[in-house]
Structure 1
Amino acid sequence: MEQNTQLWLFPKANTPTVTLSAGESMAFSFIECFDGKFSYEVWLRCKTERNVKLGLYVNAKTIYEKMVIAPTEDVCWTQFGCFQVVKGEHELIIRNNDDIDFTFEGALVTRDSGYIRCGVADEHRLEIIKGRNIDEVFAESGMKFSEEEPDDVRRDRIEMLMKQGFVERPDQDAAENRCRNGVPLGGVGTGKVELDSDGVFTGITVNNNFDVPLYKTDGSFFAVKCGDHARILQKVNYNGFPFPTVENIDFKGVFPTADLVFTDNDIPVGISLKAYSFLPNNDVKNCVIPAAVFDFTVENPTDKEQQISLMFSWENLLGTGGSMGLKSKDEGNSSFVMNTWNPGFTWSDRTGTYQKKNAENSITFGIDSTSENLMSIGDYTILCTDRNCRAKKSWKACDGKEFWNEFLSGKFTETDYVGTETGYGYIAGAICSDFTLLCGEKRTVTFILAWNMPNYFDYQGNNIGVYYSNFFSSSKQVAEYAAENKDRLLAATSEIKNAVFSSSLPEWLKGKLINDMFPIVTCSWFDKAGHFSINEAPTGMMGCLGTMDQRLACNGIYTNFFKDLDRMEMRLFALNQGENGSISHDVGFGVFNETPRGGSWSDLCSSFIIQVYKDYTYNGEYAYLEEMYERCKNAVKYQLSTDRDDDGIPDVGSGLGTTYDTYHWYGASSFVASLWLAELRCCEKMAEDMNDLAFAEDCRKKFIRAQKSAIEKLWCEKYPYGNYFISYNDVPNAKVSENCFIAQLAGAWAAKLLGLGDIFPKEMINQAIRTIYERNVTLNNMKLMNDETTPEDDRDGYGYTFIQYDEVYFGCLAIYYGFIDEGLDVFRRVYDATVGSPWNIVLTHFADGNRTGLPYYMTNPASFFIIEALSGFVPNLVSGSLRIDPNINENSLNLPLFSPKLWLDLDYEKSEYGEKFDLSVLRAEENVCFKNFTTECEKKVGSVFVDGQAVSFEQNGTIVSSDVLLDFCKNKNFTITVNYESEK
């Protein structure tokens, strides 16, 4: 039985529309036929002139009581809700919970669907793509397709995609909620191979197919033979031959490493695997190594010796690939796959694939091809560091019976198969290490997978190449370099992880922080000329590079760990700045653009300026400020030009959106206003350092005026549940929204991050944080958060949230202002909602916890900002001030403090007598020293000591500042003690 992916609840042939009166319901029944738990989405085709509140109920359970359907200009498909069910019969009810009639022309359940009992599921095949049908999308991209694709045509297409590896399951394409996900192994801009908890290689993009991954292969796996028993080291088998799988795998993934322990009753030896790739701090050459390393440890706990064969097989995938911006250049081998609501174009022609032995411990994979799809043409190498190996140069990947029997026999025969696309005649090659383990003996065997795919084409058809080609000319060279340097590079790669895991953070948060770094590999583009950028959402965003608004929330790891890459992308944004001063949303869709383009959103300018200031102060490099300063000033001028009502705040509205592009705000927006205030503080400081005193004074005046306008227009004290800044207020046009928006104080977070103080009176910010937590986090027992909540307790718009923004713009903000538990609660909610797929976390989630859109999202490293929030760490190498102001409920804290030029280990203790800061250097560049230490104390301070020596200090309110030299190049440890004044 094949499972449908779209099921029509309605319309029926004789019922073109349905109108639900106030309080009226409509019920549907359906059957889920498959074992498992499946996510469903409900879509409604409708047009409304005002917000309409609907209820969604499944099996008598309330999913949404008052989901708001927002007004639309025309009839279109609107996503109504999401729920999960298991195998069995279910009832779905849609009820009008408003006081007006609601008319809709269609209702559809989509994604993991069963069989509908009413409707015409077999006759309708409409793909829902955010309000557009699939015809429109394919018309834009030039591919012919019809919503009436017959079932047999679709079935054949999906079967072909499964054979080629683009689809894992037969019941649909490759929707992001269903595809496998593992730890990505690879380098920056190299593509990657993921290793998942079943031991499966998946999410493979080594063929420069960044937006069209391969999710399965028949011939890529590890295997072990011990005595007469053999297993592939996977829990599932894709091959046409029934390879026996291992019974159990204990898996722990901490990017970019995966640790697996394999157990099976018929395999008496202990087998463990550490898989990893290289990401050493700010070491560009060694961050772009296109390789993955697999260190196996085999131990014999028995009382007799064991004969072991450990094997690595890899399928030759050359000739297979795809893109979201380019169709196949060859005739007859093109298709498409739906990973999200946008199609990815696929191609596959493995005709002419072959392997050659370099030695018994090394095989190189190649292809003799006339294909013009050069992105998929290159070479791979698999290598074993053990010299006592035997190689199987080629075997038929579609049926492993002959190959498996040879593995069991202990001897490979010589075969020289050549791959074909016809009949999916794919081939693979394997290396096997044979050895004897004595009683109690342990042995390590290392396999390496390397790739070399030198041709990468942007969406304009230009061959821009790959950056690693500047260092390597073949996969064999890569494999040998990795083998020679793996221990050194693994140690360097592990420094960030080791620092975080040595801290006092909760275990779940330690793992979350490190795994949230995955976009540096999964999302990165890095061409041969040295253009670097992060793809906003591979498989979803059509090659959107950079995304300045998202960058604000996630730039921390790039500034601190990959400074050179960070500046490469920022300089691209500088080149893309519009002639009117506006900052572009991105640096190109599928192309590295280097000409002025600009944008319209005000928050893009704020993001750019805040990041320039952060880089400048964290690195203390005046030359960088000189390079960017005029661009920052021009961005401010552009923003002022959008102030339509002369209130000192850049406006939003028609043609002037924000990063929250699904929300339609007008006039003064609390989100934009808060960022504008933080930005003005940055500009004032930069202007002073540039001796541009007139602009500095102008920024001070603009700050005062904008702050006054924001409070007058946006501060709300009328509701009993609390005070806050409303979403927007467009006074001239009488448009106002008193909704409570979760990121209304994003700029307050940015100001705290950079040590720029409070952008609003502190008590106002405290009141708003309390209200946001109640309205946008805990209201109605939400599992996640809701971006915008109405005064009537409804979830405005779609009832979803951008979870990465929530972590920073609310979670970190709350921690800075002493709401520690509330801030950590946001992070924990995100963790709980995403822990099942930590290396493919999407942007948008519904408040009930269900994920909705944009996979592999770039902003996941946002979570790293919690370190600054908890520690109050502000390293300003321009002013020479080091600020550490821990925000914790406990009396002690151990945290790593990261900045581009200095990593510290902070060991903090607080008692009734004072506070102690033990600072130890983890990493320091030359000339890293501070001349001032600042912290915040609620109590009166009596003395300050540095390494046992009393030093002078000043206390202004709660701010304690001491002029003291902290030269971290000369001294690796400092102990700073702040003693409270005796109350006697």
Structure 2
Amino acid sequence: VEVPAGASREVVFFLAWRYPNKHTAQGVFIGNHYAQQWSSVGAVVRELSRGHRRIRQRAERFRRAFYSSTLPYWLVDCITSQISTIRHAGVVFRTATGDVYGWEGSNGCCQPTCTHVWGYEQTLARLFPDLEREMRRIDLHHQQREDGGINNRTDVPSPPRPTGEQPFSDGHASCILKAYREALNQPDDSWLRAHWPRIRRAVEYLIARDARAAGGEPRGILEDDQWNTYDNAVHGVNSFIGSYYLAALRAGEEMARRMGDGAVAAQFHAIFERGRDNLVKRCWNGEYFQQDLPGYQERWGEYGPGCLSDQVIGQWWAHQLGLGYLLPEEMVKSALKAIFRHNWLTDHTNWRHDWRKFAGGRDKGLLICSWPRGGRPGGTIPYVDEVWTGVEYQVASHMIYEGMLEEAFSIVKGARDRYDGVPRPPIPRNPWNEIECGGHYVRALSSWSLLLALSGWEYDGPARRLRFTPRIAPERFRAPFVGPQGWGTLEQSRDRRSQRNVIRVVEGRLPLHRLTLDTRRPARQVTASVDGRRTGVTVRPRGGECDVLFSPPLVLYSGQSLGLHTETGAA
């Protein structure tokens, strides 16, 4: 290659590999899935050389969809940087048979697929839903016990029987919620129909535990040994596991209705209502939800009157799945305000970390738990004095759903400032490697929920229903979306008299039957067009929201855009 003076040349190099012979530590062959697609490393290079420009252009379109958004740059960085965890073979791995396994973190951190840590992850499910569905198949067809419980970890390769320790309460409930997420992230109900009997058994497993502790009829709360992501069992009534249980009941109810099982849906809903009332009665202290366990101070691994950052995690899940409020709205908001008030540290200088240090000096971070009213037990649940980015993003995105943007942004910005790439104790600062128990820790993939919350994205694939209600700068908003069959961008602009929304599909397809918009005021008139050509719609204003119905259902394909102009009149 000759480069004349004053000129430049681009030379493309390919670094390729193919390792088909992968074995477990016990010598069992598991292979590599990609080795089934390419017969040799030469085949990899030949395909890449023919298509690298196309691949690069696709990657650039995806990058542009994010970085042309109106979201703060550090928030976009938070969401996109953690996508890299998916390609880490030590975290997400697919065997030659097509089975998908997920470790907690790199370097073989614990046995896969850890239900309680993966109960926070959202990124893989949105970007590669087919891989996430494979994980659900293993949950339901390999890890589910006769009593309906789903064990917390699996072996590799996963045998046709449950492995691991036992069902962890939060992880088991999250398997039900993840199943509903996967059901919504599909073009039809076929996946749900195939797995519904096992999902129903998973819900009934929680109800059976509830009934045993109650000595008869279930009360919608759990009081037994509740093993969870803090590597111990909590006891008594608490909203951490309790809100997970309520969310699982609501998700089970919605899935039962879709399957035409009205009696089961009614049963689940009745238990949910009892549980909601009992959880408030037993755990609400006027400011936040605490653990109700007499004698907690004499036991190891409880938190009593502590303000746990995960205390309403079930509501975080419920918002993402469109399940409504599990607990009174004003209490949920108060609990989140208390979490920020008591658990947010703006300086870690001289902070006593127990057990591990993930922040130091002038780092900001959200503690796992605090005791603003006193009563800290001598032997708390583990890790309470630590900061975990996966919990921080979960809490922050939940705050966005509740309209607490300033607090949410403080938490996210604080986490990303800790991982700014500038080396300093007590942790590595790689922006693409947020650590916990292992590097590239998968809990941090809760960060995708920030995008869902900010854009107000809720999509029901089988029903072809989309909700797009931005919660930040609705006067000028632009952000990416990823649906079950395609991806693109969402835009909204607004003035005193009107609003314009644009949905562009960059790749794939997006079927639409009903679109819900936040119009701030009742819509007087809505006109819709696809690539500039008018299309008929039926409009149903509902106060400050508006449902736009397409009949027959509309399908947007790659390169197409839907524009809507809404007249609302002056304020």
**TM-score normalised to the size of structure 1?**
0.51
Partner Cα separation in structure 2 for residue 612 and residue 600 of structure 1:
16
Partner Cα separation in structure 2 for residue 534 and residue 676 of structure 1:
24
Gaps of 5+ in 2: 349-362, 422-429
CA 461–513 in structure 1, closer or farther in 2 if over 3 Å, else same: same
Partner Cα separation in structure 2 for residue 634 and residue 549 of structure 1:
19
Partner Cα separation in structure 2 for residue 811 and residue 743 of structure 1:
11
Higher strand share: 1
Aligned residues between the structures = 526
Q: CA deviation at 1:779?
A: 7.1
CA 661–943 in structure 1, closer or farther in 2 if over 3 Å, else same: farther
Which of 440, 447, 450 aligns to 1:866? It is 450
Q: CA deviation at 1:603?
A: 1.7
CA 563–886 in structure 1, closer or farther in 2 if over 3 Å, else same: same
Residues 739 and 790, structure 1, Cα contact 8 Å, conserved in 2: yes
Residue 805 of structure 1 pairs with residue 391 of structure 2: yes
Paired position in structure 2 for 1:175? none
Residue 913 of structure 1 pairs with residue 481 of structure 2: no
Paired position in structure 1 for 2:549? 963
Partner Cα separation in structure 2 for residue 978 and residue 731 of structure 1:
56
Residue 899 of structure 1 pairs with residue 483 of structure 2: yes
Structure 2 counterpart of 1:977, one-letter code: H
CA 635–766 in structure 1, closer or farther in 2 if over 3 Å, else same: same
Alignment of 1:43-54 (within 5 A): none
Which of 102, 119, 122 aligns to 1:534? It is 102
Structure 2 counterpart of 1:973, one-letter code: S
Q: CA deviation at 1:652?
A: 5.5
CA 945–447 in structure 1, closer or farther in 2 if over 3 Å, else same: closer
Partner Cα separation in structure 2 for residue 648 and residue 541 of structure 1:
37
Which of 637, 646, 661 aligns to 2:231? It is 661
Structure 2 counterpart of 1:821, one-letter code: E
Q: CA deviation at 1:696?
A: 0.7
Paired position in structure 2 for 1:772? 339
Residues 519 and 860, structure 1, Cα contact 8 Å, conserved in 2: no
Q: CA deviation at 1:937?
A: 5.1
The sequence identity of aligned pairs, in percent, is: 23
Paired position in structure 2 for 1:788? 369
Paired position in structure 2 for 1:493? 59
Q: CA deviation at 1:975?
A: 2.1
Partner Cα separation in structure 2 for residue 858 and residue 840 of structure 1:
10
Partner Cα separation in structure 1 for residue 86 and residue 303 of structure 2:
40
CA 967–679 in structure 1, closer or farther in 2 if over 3 Å, else same: same
SS in 2 for 1:716: coil
Residues 818 and 888, structure 1, Cα contact 8 Å, conserved in 2: no
Which of 467, 471, 482 aligns to 1:887? It is 471
SS in 2 for 1:946: strand
Alignment of 1:687-702 (within 5 A): 687-702=256-271
Q: CA deviation at 1:950?
A: 8.5
SS in 2 for 1:439: coil
Q: CA deviation at 1:692?
A: 0.6
Partner Cα separation in structure 1 for residue 303 and residue 53 of structure 2:
60
Partner Cα separation in structure 1 for residue 565 and residue 495 of structure 2:
11
CA 961–969 in structure 1, closer or farther in 2 if over 3 Å, else same: closer
Residues 739 and 789, structure 1, Cα contact 8 Å, conserved in 2: yes
Residue 676 of structure 1 pairs with residue 245 of structure 2: yes
Paired position in structure 2 for 1:977? 565
Q: CA deviation at 1:513?
A: 2.1
Partner Cα separation in structure 2 for residue 498 and residue 941 of structure 1:
32
Partner Cα separation in structure 1 for residue 61 and residue 249 of structure 2:
36
Residue 842 of structure 1 pairs with residue 435 of structure 2: yes
Partner Cα separation in structure 1 for residue 160 and residue 338 of structure 2:
44
Partner Cα separation in structure 1 for residue 448 and residue 132 of structure 2:
16
Partner Cα separation in structure 1 for residue 25 and residue 146 of structure 2:
25
Residues 466-519 of structure 1, C-alpha deviations (whole Å, 9 max, x = no match): 122213333333333333322222223344322111211222222332221122
Residues 344 and 365, structure 2, Cα contact 8 Å, conserved in 1: yes
SS in 1 for 2:306: strand
Structure 2 counterpart of 1:529, one-letter code: T
Partner Cα separation in structure 1 for residue 59 and residue 151 of structure 2:
33
Alignment of 1:155-304 (within 5 A): none
Residue 730 of structure 1 pairs with residue 303 of structure 2: no
Partner Cα separation in structure 2 for residue 514 and residue 778 of structure 1:
25
Structure 1 counterpart of 2:434, one-letter code: I
Alignment of 1:712-723 (within 5 A): 712-717=281-286, 723=287
Residues 250 and 272, structure 2, Cα contact 8 Å, conserved in 1: yes
Residue 592 of structure 1 pairs with residue 178 of structure 2: no
Across the aligned residues of Structure 1 and Structure 2, the Cα RMSD in angstroms comes to 2.7
Residues 183 and 192, structure 2, Cα contact 8 Å, conserved in 1: yes
**TM-score normalised to the size of structure 2?**
0.85
Residues 288 and 331, structure 2, Cα contact 8 Å, conserved in 1: yes
Paired position in structure 2 for 1:260? none
Q: CA deviation at 1:684?
A: 1.4
Structure with the larger RCO, 1 or 2 (CA within 8 Å, 6+ apart): 2
Paired position in structure 2 for 1:199? none
Partner Cα separation in structure 1 for residue 285 and residue 564 of structure 2:
43
Partner Cα separation in structure 2 for residue 914 and residue 807 of structure 1:
34
Paired position in structure 1 for 2:511? 929
Structure 2 counterpart of 1:660, one-letter code: Y
Structure 1 counterpart of 2:222, one-letter code: D
Residue 751 of structure 1 pairs with residue 318 of structure 2: yes
Residues 144 and 151, structure 2, Cα contact 8 Å, conserved in 1: yes
Residues 816 and 869, structure 1, Cα contact 8 Å, conserved in 2: yes
Structure 2 counterpart of 1:743, one-letter code: D
Alignment of 1:116-515 (within 5 A): 435-515=1-81
Partner Cα separation in structure 1 for residue 303 and residue 3 of structure 2:
75
Higher helix share: 2
CA 964–447 in structure 1, closer or farther in 2 if over 3 Å, else same: closer
SS in 2 for 1:969: strand
Residues 602 and 650, structure 1, Cα contact 8 Å, conserved in 2: no
SS in 2 for 1:448: coil
CA 957–680 in structure 1, closer or farther in 2 if over 3 Å, else same: farther
Residues 537-560 of structure 1, C-alpha deviations (whole Å, 9 max, x = no match): 222524x222222223223x3233
SS in 2 for 1:896: strand
- Which has more radius of gyration? 1
Q: CA deviation at 1:647?
A: 6.1
Partner Cα separation in structure 1 for residue 184 and residue 441 of structure 2:
28
Structure 2 counterpart of 1:868, one-letter code: L
SS in 1 for 2:6: coil
Partner Cα separation in structure 2 for residue 652 and residue 476 of structure 1:
59
Residues 740 and 790, structure 1, Cα contact 8 Å, conserved in 2: yes
Residues 776 and 785, structure 1, Cα contact 8 Å, conserved in 2: yes
Partner Cα separation in structure 1 for residue 324 and residue 106 of structure 2:
37
Residues 208 and 218, structure 2, Cα contact 8 Å, conserved in 1: no
CA 708–747 in structure 1, closer or farther in 2 if over 3 Å, else same: same
Residues 816 and 870, structure 1, Cα contact 8 Å, conserved in 2: yes
Structure 2 counterpart of 1:658, one-letter code: N
Residue 525 of structure 1 pairs with residue 93 of structure 2: yes
Structure 2 counterpart of 1:685, one-letter code: E
